[in-house]
Amino acid sequence: MDLQNITYLVVGATFALYIGIAIWARAGSTSEFYVAGGGVPPVMNGMATAADWMSAASFISMAGLISNMGYGGGLFLMGWTGGYVLLAMLLAPYLRKFGKFTVPQFIGDRFYSKSASTVAVLCLLTASITYIIGQMTGVGVAFSRFLGVSNEVGIYVGMGIVFMYAVFGGMKGITYTQVAQYIVLILAYTIPAIFISLQLTGNPIPQLGLGSDMVGTDVSLLARLDEVVTDLGFGKYTTTTAGSTLNMFVYTLSLMIGTAGLPHVIMRFFTVPKVADARISAGWALVFIAILYTTAPAVAAMAKMNLIRTVTPGVVMKGVDPYSADAQIKADERPDWMKRWEKTGLLKFEDKNGDGRIQYYNDKTKNEDVKKKAEAAGWKGNELTVNADIIVLANPEIALLPNWVIALVAAGGLAAALSTAAGLLMAISAAVSHDLVKGIFKPDISEKGELLAGKISMAVAIVVAGYLGLNPPGFAAGTVALAFGIAASSLFPAIMMGIFSKKMNKEGAIAGMLSGLAVTLFYVFAHKGIFFIKGTDYLDVIGGANSFFGITPEAFGAVGALLNFIVAFVVDKMTKEPPEHIQHLVESVRVPRGAKAVDGSHAH
Amino acid sequence: MDDNGKAYWSATLGLLTKILVIWFLVSFGAGILFADALNSIKLGGYPLGFWFAHQGSIYVFVALIFIYAKAMGNIDRKFDVHED
């Protein structure tokens, strides 16, 4: 069977599975709709959380980014996993004990203020909607690349599938579908990695392969990679940091607290039966996430190695000088996968010096030695550009793996994007129907009415997300920074202070959230434009790019969070204590005993 | 808060502090601030600082959550505030 038909078959089978699960897990009550009835066992909840968390960005983009960045790419690995430690210890068990459906509801009740809850809804919606645009775009790209349909058709199909299981199944349908999606995506990620690790190092476990010797030699893969890349003018793979040590530090911290503050992740911990389960559930989630996250660095380094092997065949294994006359591959003998990806525009080759061969090196290097060698060899600049996003998808093709593996990777990419989109839609729907409609506009709405409002708001959210996916506002890359910045600078500190400071009052919390949010938006917009509108950036106002101690806008969330804490404590000291019953509420949230099934009733 | 409640909360905070110190040391310490120094030590083919940033801290994170969940369960029972 050819690649196209196998891909149809594998992707079709996974979709049939998701829809089957959705029919089986239809939600009947608001509790089943929002929190799956609070009855999901911890291991299964961990698996669903992992699928929810690992988006198209983790699956498709991350290894490619690490491949280009080397050591500095570790900030994604540590940042997107370390947040779970914070989540497990600082937020999840206490929010589960609090026992309500949504994050804004906790903030509203704890800070005895509708305004606080409204600010939280606003933050939640902005973070979730910006995040979901990227997912829908990812769905469209994956469909059009692998199924040969147009981008638009891809997004419509994706919207239809998510609609089926999210609207009818609610959190219960989403949770069980995500378990299936996790299994698909993790197989799709690890199987090619195992093959490639075997080819390069003879070790089938990628995590060990990355620390092993190259097959048939006694030089370790990383040591050889360091030599090869520095020879071509790139930074040393194992030591090149991301900007500066300070930037890497702050960036990692921002991703960690952003992870812990993202509402669609926090929501997952309302679905477990007990407080103790919320703690252990975060551990299981991280186990399942770690399987992909510890494989990613191996995929990254090995893809870099394979790319160099493809362009300059004798260099890696036989130690041929890449600058010698016939070391580089002839352009018309380049492999088919390169030609296939050239059509997408994500891989580009341009014969700058007209010698009919491909030269791949860093032509912006400051290494005089490399510059001299390149000049002596008659090289006129780098001739091959590879978009980071194709590394994972092209990986099985680069390593010449069988067609079914390529088909599986397509299904995996779709599973990653769909599962995250569904989780985000759930968070949006709950915020709108539960926190806005029931909490503020129409408190006397019946359970049936609320369920209907939830389904309608989810359907609207799907259409909006689909529309934005079809007409991406051209800010996909910047929006991730915004989503994490908001979660880190506004939601995380507010929830944490709500639990760990009995005396924190509403004035402090609101002032903290607003100032953390404002300063983060100010810094992000200065770089990326006001609401990402091109031409409205105002870098000169803040004194140039990354002017705050060289910190990039993506890394700024941690600074916003710090300001949030400081402002909150200062304002708290100047205003009056929270009422007695709120202090009792905090005391009761801190102990597990008496945890009830999660319900949605508003306390006042 | 009664005395038992106070003692329970301070035991909880003590555990959190210990876990957070290790969390910080493996990632921000070994993976970032001291990575260069640690790279002179090799773990198989891995320079140690690089290993912490790309592998080690993730393994430690996983272990930390399970240790926390276990220790927290013990504290709950010791102060008799566990769920039924």
CA distance A339 to A336: 5
- Pick from A178-182, A463-467, B20-24: least confident: A463-467
Same domain, A117 and A192: yes
Same domain, A342 and A215: no
Residue of A85, A223, A238 with shortest CB distance to B61: A85
Same domain, A565 and A586: yes
Name the residue among A97, A94, A85, A461 with its Cα closest to residue A259.
A85
Judged against a pLDDT cut of 70, whether residue A133 lies above it is answered with yes
In this prediction, residue A604 carries a pLDDT of 44
Same domain, A344 and A284: no
Kindly provide the residue ranges of all beta strands, DSSP E only, lying in A147-225, ordered along the sequence: none
A363, A391, A419 - which closes a domain: A391
- Pick from A180-194, A384-398, A507-521, B10-24: least confident: A384-398
In the Cβ-directed half-sphere of B11, how many Cα atoms lie within 13 Å? 19
In this prediction, residue A477 carries a pLDDT of 54
Neighboring chain B residues of A275 at a CB cutoff of 8 Å: 83
> Radius of gyration of chain A from Cα atoms?
25
For A91-109, the pLDDT digits (tens) are 999 999 988 878 999 999 9
Same domain, A373 and A230: no
Judged against a pLDDT cut of 70, whether residue A253 lies above it is answered with yes
In this prediction, residue A479 carries a pLDDT of 67
What is the rounded average pLDDT of the residues A390-413?
A: 85
Question: Chain A within 8 Å of B40 (Cβ-Cβ)?
Answer: no
CA distance A524 to A557: 9
A391, A413, A443 - which closes a domain: A391
Q: Tell me, what amino acid is at B67?
A: I
Looking at chain A, which residue has its C-alpha nearest residue B46? A211
Looking at the complex, report in whole angstroms how far the Cα of residue B2 sits from the nearest Cα belonging to chain A: 10
Inter-chain residue contact B54 with A290, CB threshold 8 Å: no
Same domain, A158 and A96: yes
Residues 41-80 in B contacting A (C-alpha not used; CB under 8 Å)? 43-47, 50-51, 53-55, 57-59, 61-62, 64-66, 68-69, 72-73, 76
Name the residue among A200, A234, A246, A179 with its Cα closest to residue A22.
A179
State the ipTM, two decimals.
0.95
- Tally of domains in chain A: 2
Residue of A212, A279, A587 with shortest CB distance to B68: A279
Q: How confident is the model at residue A298 (pLDDT cuts 50, 70, 90)?
A: very high
Neighboring chain B residues of A71 at a CB cutoff of 8 Å: 35, 50, 53-54
Q: With the C-alpha atoms ordered A118, A119, A122, A124, is the resulting torsion angle positive or negative?
A: negative
Looking at the complex, report in whole angstroms how far the Cα of residue A555 sits from the nearest Cα belonging to chain B: 15
Inter-chain residue contact A286 with B65, CB threshold 8 Å: yes
Same domain, A272 and A339: no
In this prediction, residue A428 carries a pLDDT of 87
Same domain, A419 and A464: yes
Q: Who's near A366: CB < 8 A, 6+ residues apart? A: none
For A438-495, the pLDDT digits (tens) are 877 888 888 888 888 888 888 888 888 888 777 765 555 556 767 888 899 999 999 9
In this prediction, residue A399 carries a pLDDT of 79
In this prediction, residue A481 carries a pLDDT of 67
Percent composition of chain B: helix, strand, coil (DSSP 3-state, to 5): 80, 5, 15
Inter-chain residue contact B43 with A211, CB threshold 8 Å: yes
Q: Kindly list the domain boundaries of chain B, sorted by start residue.
A: 3-78
Looking at chain B, which residue has its C-alpha nearest residue A286? B62
Residue of B20, B53, B58 with shortest CB distance to A71: B53
Q: Tell me, what amino acid is at A535?
A: G
Looking at the complex, report in whole angstroms how far the Cα of residue A186 sits from the nearest Cα belonging to chain B: 17
Same domain, A499 and A354: no
In the Cβ-directed half-sphere of A502, how many Cα atoms lie within 13 Å? 14
Neighboring chain B residues of A84 at a CB cutoff of 8 Å: 61, 65
Interface with chain A: mutation pick from B12, B16, B22, B32, highest number of A CBs within 10 Å = B32
For A159-176, the pLDDT digits (tens) are 888 887 777 777 888 888
A601 within a domain of the structure (yes/no) = no
Name the residue among A165, A159, A102, A198 with its Cα closest to residue A437.
A102
A336, A358, A391 - which closes a domain: A391
Interface with chain A: mutation pick from B19, B43, B58, highest number of A CBs within 10 Å = B58
In this prediction, residue B50 carries a pLDDT of 95
Looking at the complex, report in whole angstroms how far the Cα of residue B68 sits from the nearest Cα belonging to chain A: 8
Structure tokens at A233: 């003018």
Inter-chain residue contact A592 with B82, CB threshold 8 Å: yes
Same domain, A330 and A417: no
What is the rounded average pLDDT of the residues A568-576?
A: 95
Judged against a pLDDT cut of 80, whether residue A535 lies above it is answered with no
Give me the CATH number covering residue A217: 1.20.1730.10
For A21-52, the pLDDT digits (tens) are 888 877 677 777 777 767 788 888 899 999 98
Residue of B31, B55, B81 with shortest CB distance to A297: B55
Burial letters A296-328, b for 16+ CB under 10 A, else e = bbbbbbbbbbbbbbbbbeebbeeeeebbeeebb
For A208-245, the pLDDT digits (tens) are 999 999 888 888 999 999 999 998 889 899 988 888 89
Judged against a pLDDT cut of 80, whether residue B18 lies above it is answered with yes
Predicted TM-score (pTM) of this structure: 0.91
Range of the domain at A367: 312-391
Same domain, A332 and A457: no
- Pick from A482-496, A586-600, B40-54: least confident: A586-600
A166 within a domain of the structure (yes/no) = yes
Q: Is A213 helix (H, G, I), strand (E, B) or coil?
A: strand
Inter-chain residue contact A223 with B45, CB threshold 8 Å: yes
Same domain, A78 and A182: yes
What is the rounded average pLDDT of the residues A420-433?
A: 86
In this prediction, residue A254 carries a pLDDT of 93
A537 within a domain of the structure (yes/no) = yes
Neighboring chain A residues of B54 at a CB cutoff of 8 Å: 66, 71, 73-74, 77, 210, 297
What is the DSSP code string of A5-48? HHHHHHHHHHHHHHHHHHHHT---SHHHHHHGGG---HHHHHHH
Interface with chain B: mutation pick from A65, A78, A229, highest number of B CBs within 10 Å = A78
Neighboring chain A residues of B39 at a CB cutoff of 8 Å: 238-239
Judged against a pLDDT cut of 80, whether residue A523 lies above it is answered with yes
Q: What average pLDDT does chain A have? A: 86
Count of pairs with CB atoms under 8 A, one residue in A, one in B: 142
Neighboring chain B residues of A595 at a CB cutoff of 8 Å: 83
